[in-house]
């Protein structure tokens, strides 16, 4: 089995890859506040206990992934890649993503089956203003460069108002509004 793993670019044995996967599986369940909070546990396992990568490689893995566009969790794939190539990236990402994905699916199905109960209605009613407030705050921060620049102010404000009206008055998917914003920005109107 190790011969086929070596042919796939992994310097680790099947047992080591399984251990890597299992360790990241456990870390996923501890990742309250985001997966970056489990970086010390990752470092201990891959750099200290097994010495598969150095401290500098571990730090560089996080720095490279954080500098790249995309989800914050990408550093897990970079660490896995540096440890064992493509199979390492697969092991670490699968380990991190499977528990959280399963938990999310379970919670959403559980909530959907109980959406008419008093507790679920109270929960969703309470979460609505928080969610809206966070979205408005994020939108405000993202719009600041355009609202503070005189040449883009009118277009940016019009796009913001149109988006708010569309979200409040229609059931149009927000993805269409994101696409509209991309087209307007691409054409240089904002």
Q: In the numeric block, which tokens belong to residue 134?
A: 């966070």
Nearest to 17 by CA among 81, 86, 91: 91
Q: What is the pLDDT of residue 49?
A: 95
> Predicted confidence band at 5 (pLDDT cuts at 50, 70, 90)?
low
Q: What is the pLDDT of residue 8?
A: 55
**Taking residues 37-63, what's their average pLDDT?**
91
Question: How far apart (Å, rounded) are the C-alpha atoms in residues 37 and 57?
Answer: 18
> Predicted confidence band at 70 (pLDDT cuts at 50, 70, 90)?
confident
Question: How far apart (Å, rounded) are the C-alpha atoms in residues 17 and 2?
Answer: 11
Question: How far apart (Å, rounded) are the C-alpha atoms in residues 40 and 36?
Answer: 9
pLDDT at residue 173 above 80? yes
The tens digit of pLDDT for each residue in 134-158 reads 777 767 776 777 788 777 788 888 8
Q: In the numeric block, which tokens belong to residue 138?
A: 């994020």
Question: How far apart (Å, rounded) are the C-alpha atoms in residues 165 and 85?
Answer: 48
**Taking residues 77-102, what's their average pLDDT?**
95
**Taking residues 12-30, what's their average pLDDT?**
93
């Amino acid at each position: 089995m190790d011969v086929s793993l070596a042919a796939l670019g992994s310097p680790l044995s099947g047992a080591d890859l399984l251990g890597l996967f299992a360790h990241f599986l456990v870390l996923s369940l501890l990742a309250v506040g985001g997966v970056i909070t489990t970086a010390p546990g990752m470092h201990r396992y891959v750099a200290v206990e097994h010495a598969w990568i150095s401290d500098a490689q571990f730090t560089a893995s996080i720095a490279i992934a954080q500098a790249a566009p995309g989800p914050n969790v990408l550093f897990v794939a970079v660490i896995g890649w540096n440890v064992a190539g493509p199979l390492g990236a697969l092991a670490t990402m699968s380990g991190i993503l499977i528990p959280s994905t399963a938990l999310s699916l379970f919670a959403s199905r559980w909530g959907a089956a109980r959406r008419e109960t008093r507790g679920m209605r109270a929960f969703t009613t309470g979460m609505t203003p928080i969610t809206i407030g966070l979205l408005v705050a994020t939108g405000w921060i993202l719009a600041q460069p355009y609202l503070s620049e005189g040449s883009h102010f009118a277009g940016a404000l019009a796009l913001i108002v149109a988006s708010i009206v569309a979200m409040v008055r229609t059931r149009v998917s927000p993805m269409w509004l994101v696409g509209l914003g991309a087209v307007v920005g691409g054409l240089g109107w904002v």
